[in-house]
Chain A
Amino acid sequence: MSSKEPLSTPEKTTGLHIGEALPGVKKVDPILIVDKVSKDFGGLRAVDVDHLEIPRNAITALIGPNGAGKTTLFNLLTGFDKPDTGTWEFDGSKLAGIPAFKVAQLGEVRTFQLTKALSLLTVLENMKLGAKEQKGEKLLYSLVPALWKKQEKLIEQKALEILSRFKLAEKKDDFAASLSGGQRKLLEMARALMIDPTLVMLDEPMAGVNPALTESLLEHILNLKDQGLTVLFIEHDMHMVRHIADWVVVMAEGKVVAEGPPDKVMKEQAVVDAYLGSHQDVDLGVVTGRIKK
């Protein structure tokens, strides 16, 4: 196999913000608007976001040190946790107080840091579970197969189509437990697409995934943007962020401390000191003196 070509940098979406790129800056076409959302755990203020807007049909990265409140913010925005204060709007609908399952039905879908591929179901069953149109999921309808068999066929077709895009089609009848970690991440992402979301929120999608597989995952995320979806993801892998993110939001200690296009944000001194480190693009062999460069 010949030497692999480096990935070509995708075309970034620009012109997303109005005015200077500071924390809380307004966006031209926001899909999610967050206002004064806060959450305390014990004495600790885990999230304290004054104002945040996520641009539609773009890929936004949410970065920051551990404990900055990123996953907590995800949980609050998707109804998996209740904030102490604040409101937020998704595509014009106010979401405060709406339970997690309704938020998902409205089109805002999330994945989890620790993959939740349902191991006791097959890959295909996992996918079918994501569909929202299956009447047979209602108790009374389920008793009469004639009422839901046709929908099941349509859903299966859709599932197979998505699975082949993610190169998981031949595993369709295997239990999800038999997939590798990276394949389970793919399955979780593919399954989330069955629900036809408008906003896909990915919590550390690359965590624990082999770097070579990461590249194909990135392609899938970029495809989502091409299909008109909006993506918001939490990540620690800066190479990935720089490669696909159109916009970067930096959180620290519960607050949004910086926002902007990746190149600009990742050069800000405060961000470098607290999060990125000064050795980002340097070979550690040189830093530790093991290699003379």
Chain B
Amino acid sequence: MDWLIILSNTAGSMLSPITMAFALAALGLAVHFGFAGLLNFGVAGFMAIGAYGYVISILTFGFPWWAAILVSIGASIIFAIILGIPTLRLRGDYLAIVTIAAAEIVRLLFLTTAFTPVTGSALGLSGYHNSFRGANPFEWDGKRGFGPWTYTATEFWVLVIGLIMITVSLLFVWRLVKSPWGRVIKGIREDEDAVRALGKNVFAYKMQALIIGGILGALGGVMMVLPSSVLPASFVTALTFFVWTALLLGGAATVFGPVLGAVLFWILQAFLANLLPALSDIGLLGGINNQQAAIMRFILIGAGLMLLVIYRPQGILGDKKELTFVK
């Protein structure tokens, strides 16, 4: 067992595009669920809209990369409004059911062969990087950095954009949560009628929260496809539950919890993805082979999510009084 490789791969995953994508999506989900109490089980749908919105704007409409990001944001706003208008007046469980369905509808629309010229259907799309890479201010050959954190100039550019998006988003959400707007949202999460009786338009506030969280989810989707290609298979329901796990792990009703949770989630994933096959190779996992061992990590993550919800729903950074599911 080569511990050096296992640990090196694990450390490298801390600063990877997928980790940043999760950080953004989890932050969006924190706005939805942690702060506004909206049960969004269609995170994958928002991410898919962001991802495909970006890629299709470039490939089909020839937009530059930064305009494509704006299109992603715009598409997610429309998606949130369509989801919200029928469901925000109903009980929370209905939003949960509708969002699962909506996310699947989105994925299937990108999968169907009916739109292959635009979406690439099952094979997805690639080759949209010229505009993005053209704007890269960093130029070096080969890889630079130290230890497990070495990158080509392209990879580095992706990370920089990711860090900028995360920083701006964190500042944005931080400001919101500490403001009177945040106070109203906190009240709504606990008791809508009480807040209505104080003259606040509860529907408008919930819609605003849905939109803001949705935009962050879409930016997460953009991060996912910035490095190489977009595939509909990436946006299955499992993605939604992974983001939920990251969020609950870090602390759903906090601002930094989602980022912490995303990083820890991917460290754990990378660690297990390297460790388990190594263990099976030296025969410690019964007779299962390499590939089966790697898949086992999903079982462990599922079990971990269950344990989190039961025993520590407030996550690492959260306050038990604020968020508990056990009555």
Contacts and interface: CB of A to CB of B under 8 A. Distances in A.
B215 to A, nearest CB: 12
Interface string A83-122: 0000000000000000111101100011110001111110
Contacts of B183: 121, 125, 128-129, 137
B101 interface: no
Contacts of A104: 196-199
A72 to B, nearest CB: 15
Interface in B168-195: 172, 175-176, 179-184, 186-187, 189-191, 193-195
Contact of B194 (A118, A177, A195): A118
Among A100, A117, A125, which residue has the most Cβ atoms of chain B within 10 A?
Answer: A100
B322 A142 contact: no
Contact of B181 (A78, A101, A109, A142): A142
A207 B172 CA distance: 43
Given A116-B191, A175-B321, A137 B186 contact: no
Nearest to B171: A143
A166 interface: no
Contact of A118 (B182, B187, B208): B187
B179 A148 contact: yes
Interface of A: 78, 80, 99-102, 104-105, 109-112, 116-121, 125, 128-130, 132, 134, 136-139, 141-143, 145, 148, 152, 175, 177, 191-192, 194-195
A136 B179 contact: yes
Given A117-B194, A143-B179, 11 more contacts: A100-B193, A101-B197, A101-B200, A104-B197, A109-B198, A116-B197, A118-B186, A118-B190, A132-B199, A143-B172, A148-B179
Nearest to A136: B180
Given A129-B187, A138-B181, A145-B175, A112 B196 contact: no
A80 B199 contact: no
A205 to B, nearest CB: 14
A148 B198 contact: no
Nearest to A107: B199
Contacts of A120: 186, 189-190, 321-322
A110 B197 contact: yes
A141 B208 CA distance: 13
A112 B192 CA distance: 13
Nearest to B182: A142
Interface string B204-220: 00001000000000000
B180 A128 contact: yes
16 contacts: A80-B196, A100-B196, A101-B199, A109-B197, A111-B197, A117-B194, A118-B191, A118-B194, A121-B187, A136-B181, A141-B181, A142-B175, A142-B176, A143-B179, A175-B321, A192-B198
Contact of A101 (B187, B189, B190, B202): B202
Contacts of B181: 136-139, 141-142
Q: Which 9 A-B pairs have the closest CB atoms?
A: A142-B179, A116-B194, A142-B181, A136-B180, A104-B199, A105-B199, A137-B180, A100-B196, A134-B180
Contacts of A121: 183, 186-187, 190
Contacts of A145: 175, 179
Nearest to B319: A120
Contacts of B136: none
B152 interface: no
Contacts of B189: 120
A194 B184 CA distance: 15
A71 to B, nearest CB: 13
A137 B175 contact: no
Among B175, B194, B199, B208, which residue has the most Cβ atoms of chain A within 10 A?
Answer: B199
A101 B200 CA distance: 5
A249 to B, nearest CB: 22
A206 B256 CA distance: 43
A129 to B, nearest CB: 5
A281 B202 CA distance: 46
A35 B254 CA distance: 49
A191 B198 contact: yes
B201 interface: yes
A136 B180 CA distance: 5
A121 B182 CA distance: 11
B91 to A, nearest CB: 16
A78 B175 contact: no
Contacts of A142: 175-176, 179-182
A109 B199 CA distance: 9
Contact of B175 (A129, A130, A143): A143
Contacts of A105: 199
A148 B187 contact: no
Contacts of B195: 118, 129
A79 to B, nearest CB: 8
Given A120-B186, A138-B181, A175-B321, A195 B199 contact: yes
Contacts of A192: 197-198
Among B175, B197, B200, which residue has the most Cβ atoms of chain A within 10 A?
Answer: B197
A226 B200 CA distance: 28
B150 to A, nearest CB: 38
B206 to A, nearest CB: 12
